[in-house]
Structure 1
Amino acid sequence: MGHAASSKKEKNPKSNRAEQLPGLKVVILGDSGVGKSSILVRYVHNQFTPMYIPTTKVSIENIVKKLNIPDHALVSLTFWDLPGKEDIQLYRSYFTDVDAAIVVVDLSDPESLNMALVWKQILMNNMTVTTVLDNTPGVKRHEDIYKKEPAPNKYTIPILLLGTKFDLVEKMTQNSEGNKDSVQTSDNKLPCIKELEEYGARYNFTGSMAVSAREGDGSVHQAIQIFIRHIIEKKYRPRKQEENNNDKLGSASAVEKIFEISGVENIDKEFLKAEKCIRRIQSLSKYSDQSLKKFFVKCSQSNLTNSEDISLENCVVALKKYFCSPDTQLEMHEEDRFCTINLKAEKENIKMASCYEKIFKTFNLEYSASVKAILSEFPDFISTLSNIDNRIEVLCQDNSCQQNLLNDKPLDYLQASLIIETNRAKIKFTQNQATDKIKSAETSLNKIKTSLLW
């Protein structure tokens, strides 16, 4: 029956596209007893059991959910409910090809929140992605078909911070104070809720929300639905919608958006300032990588190095050996924290072949120039992005800003928070990328110096 239904929908392109369901693997993390399994059962089956049975092995639930997104009304979700205590080697196998994560903490336990960052770090340290090496039919070993590599998106993976047992917190508050309003903050939030939000913002979680799996109040469903919808909008946004957004912004369709618009004007202005730094970091990093590859290609084409065993050290050593003679030698000139490489000739009439001239020009005028720019500009960019992120954090804590969003639109603030935290994660990722590029440039200089000593 499934095939018959599918064939009917193929007449409508939009229906056919919806039939190809987006799929997400979501892992649920947290200490034992915080309520991970209860959250999953409430969301998938809308049920709750008061009996506590510790999860001793991973539980996997597959479900198709309807989301309020044009052209992507359905999404296939695979939830992995992980034990609170597990061997780290097993966690590595669980964290393969993960699309998102939910870190669960117990609001009724003051110590539980401090473990959220630990679980986030465990996830990022062990995330891997699977690459298909050879899908040709035949008898092959698993390692000949698939390859696991460290996940490139570990700094930007969406992670929801979910505080459970909110019903217990409310009861404890009422019992201890007699009037729960008396212990709430000026913005009508219980202290544990405010602490949860501040913690999530401080450690760059995609969003944070307090829920109750015991009470059928819809809080679990609402929190996860908004989180999944945010991921799907980011990952599977229709091309037409992107083009419309670009037209509204007056930008060319070839320019990829870096940040989503949160709707909080003063915060979006800060992200706009950060965008200029990020685009410069991205363009310089890309040009540096491309020029280094071009240098490698020139060395290989000139038969100085083997294309299968090519590196910066090998190229420099090969150049030194080739031009080592009584009349010529390779010379390094250090300037602006990096270097150039030139040929020093004892006789003025020595003419270098054009292929070797191109090697030196590629290194000095392209690769060396880009590295010098990175070393000169990136420290300032890193500092600027830190200042911008600090200002955004202050704006996020502005109660008046939050209250304006909450008025008559209870979902707007959570959605804006998810967008803001995702944008802040991009800033952090770019800062790490810039720092890595600086370290890589310093390492490259040391490699060149060492190579010239050989």
Structure 2
Amino acid sequence: MNETRRSTAGDYDYLIKLLVLGDSGVGKTSFLVRFVDDQFSNRYLSTVGIDFKEKRVTKNRKKLRLQLWDTAGQERFRSLATAFFRNAMGFVVMFDVTNEQSFLNTRSWLQQLRTHAYTEDPVTILVGNKTDLDHIRKVQKSDAERFADKLGLKYMETSAQSGANVREAFEILLDGVLERMQRNVPAVGDPRVPDLVPDIEREDVRELKAENEAEEKRGLKRILPCCN
């Protein structure tokens, strides 16, 4: 998977929306920031509602525009998150290897996927994050692997802090998405392609993004609207 640093608005073959799900505090935002910007900070704010990032990559000689959606893990925001499930093409279900409850709660996240995603068998990988804290690990790798194997899921362990296996996890997810797309989805520009993601270039969304940046400096975040 090669990164594309500069690219015009229409210079891609596929527009792919991916969602990262899991309890609050498991490291979803840090995971995405590591993948998109190759950076890590301990000062990320808890995501409120829905947030997103973009990245352009080339894989299998296809230019991909990725929209990476970061969902809040708090119970009160789950109904908002499920509104985005149906249009997503791939999912990361994440837990914290130092937090056993976050691992147990992946069952609930996976059940929501089966209920609300575009298919009962969406392209999904299970990720155990924070392996840099292995000395206080509560979820053994073998237990997570057995759980994933029973569900037919790929399992990866990552560290957003060090960057370990973050890129590899997305490689595995995109392999699954592209394999399914080759069977079902034509290239961008074909009139049969649905509007898979919100039009984030809309003026009102650009204004809200500017407001988000200002409010983040004061320790706040606003919810991006669903523009489907």
Q: Give the Cα–Cα distance (whole angstroms) in 2 for the partners of residues 87 and 34 of structure 1.
A: 16
Q: Is the 8 A contact 1:161 1:208 kept in 2?
A: yes
Q: Give the Cα–Cα distance (whole angstroms) in 1 for the partners of residues 19 and 139 of structure 2.
A: 28
Q: Deviations over 1:360-381 (max 9, x none)?
A: xxxxxxxxxxxxxxxxxxxxxx
Tell me which of 21, 24, 31 is aligned to 2:23: 31
Distance 1:89 1:168, change over 3 A: closer
Tell me which of 159, 175, 178 is aligned to 2:124: 159
Q: Is the 8 A contact 2:49 2:80 kept in 1?
A: no
Q: In the TM superposition, what are the counterparts of 1:306-317 in structure 2 within 5 Å?
A: none
Distance 1:87 1:53, change over 3 A: closer
Residue 80 of structure 1: aligned partner: 69
* Higher Cα Rg, which structure: 1
Q: Give the Cα–Cα distance (whole angstroms) in 1 for the partners of residues 16 and 69 of structure 2.
A: 11
Q: Give the Cα–Cα distance (whole angstroms) in 2 for the partners of residues 191 and 61 of structure 1.
A: 29
Q: Is the 8 A contact 1:91 1:126 kept in 2?
A: no
Q: Deviations over 1:148-202 (max 9, x none)?
A: xxx3x2x221111010000101x337xxxxxxxxxxxxxxxx9711111111111
Residue 182 of structure 2: aligned partner: 236
Q: Is the 8 A contact 1:117 1:203 kept in 2?
A: no
Tell me which of 24, 40, 43 is aligned to 2:32: 40
Q: Give the Cα–Cα distance (whole angstroms) in 1 for the partners of residues 148 and 99 of structure 2.
A: 17
Q: Which runs of 5+ in 2 are unaligned?
A: 1-6, 184-228
The ranges of structure 1 where at least 4 consecutive aligned residues each deviate by more than 2 angstroms after the TM superposition are: 86-89
Instruction: Name whichever structure is richer in helix by fraction.
Output: 1
Distance 1:49 1:115, change over 3 A: same
Tell me which of 126, 130, 136 is aligned to 1:172: 136
Deviation at 1:63, TM superposition (A): 1.3
Distance 1:88 1:216, change over 3 A: closer
SS in 2 for 1:215: coil
Q: Which runs of 5+ in 1 are unaligned?
A: 7-18, 128-150, 174-189, 238-454
* Higher normalized contact order (CA 8 Å, seq sep 6+, divided by chain length): 2
Q: Deviations over 1:363-419 (max 9, x none)?
A: xxxxxxxxxxxxxxxxxxxxxxxxxxxxxxxxxxxxxxxxxxxxxxxxxxxxxxxxx
Deviation at 1:32, TM superposition (A): 0.5
Q: Is the 8 A contact 2:98 2:139 kept in 1?
A: no
Q: Give the Cα–Cα distance (whole angstroms) in 1 for the partners of residues 169 and 77 of structure 2.
A: 30
Residue 208 of structure 1: aligned partner: 155
Q: Give the Cα–Cα distance (whole angstroms) in 2 for the partners of residues 213 and 87 of structure 1.
A: 23
Tell me which of 20, 33, 41 is aligned to 1:49: 41
Instruction: Name whichever structure is richer in strand by fraction.
Output: 2
Say how many residue pairs are matched.
176
